[in-house]
């Protein structure tokens, strides 16, 4: 069964890149969000197997969205894809319940390794 993915990033080119990488690997992208508020709404609507989440987004940021999604579903699988790679930020989001962290910019194989690590 193909895994459903929600991509949350305010940069259109980044959503497209992640979508291209994951769909080539057999994942189905069920939604794309430009901010944390949309991410939460789409999570509730589609109940994806995986969420890729940026941290810096307009309005509700990725950290607030992660908290809200995990309050809704403690089993949510969240992969952070962010240019903010300070150790304190990484440990904060992992502490919240995100499963993996990939620093931007990244190679397609890096995101695939992280995704596969979540599902292994």
Q: Does this model's pTM top 0.85?
A: yes
Distance CA 21, CA 43 (A): 20
CATH domain 4-119 topology: Rossmann fold (3.40.50)
CB neighbourhood size of 87 (10 A): 7
Sketch the domain layout of the chain as residue ranges: 4-119
Residue 89 burial class via C-beta count within 10 angstroms: exposed 0-12, middle 13-18, buried 19 and up: middle
Taking residues 67-79, what's their average pLDDT? 96
Distance, CA of 77 to CA of 115 (rounded, Å): 9
Q: Which of 84, 86, 77, 73 is nearest to 51 (CA)?
A: 77
pLDDT in tens, 29-71: 999 999 999 999 999 999 999 999 999 999 999 999 999 999 9
When pLDDT is cut at 50, 70 and 90, the band that residue 1 belongs to is: confident
Whether 43 contacts 7, CB under 8 Å: no
């Amino acid at each position: 069964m193909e895994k459903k993915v929600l991509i949350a990033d305010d940069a259109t080119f980044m959503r497209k890149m992640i979508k291209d990488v994951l769909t080539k690997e057999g994942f189905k992208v069920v939604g794309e969000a430009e901010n944390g508020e949309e991410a939460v709404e789409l999570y509730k609507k589609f109940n994806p197997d995986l969420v890729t989440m940026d941290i810096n987004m307009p309005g509700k940021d990725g950290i607030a969205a992660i908290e809200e999604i995990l309050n809704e579903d403690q089993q949510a699988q969240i992969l952070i894809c962010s240019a903010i790679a300070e150790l304190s930020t990484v440990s904060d989001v992992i502490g919240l319940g995100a499963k993996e962290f990939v620093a931007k910019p990244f190679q397609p194989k890096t995101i695939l390794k992280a995704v596969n690590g979540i599902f292994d």
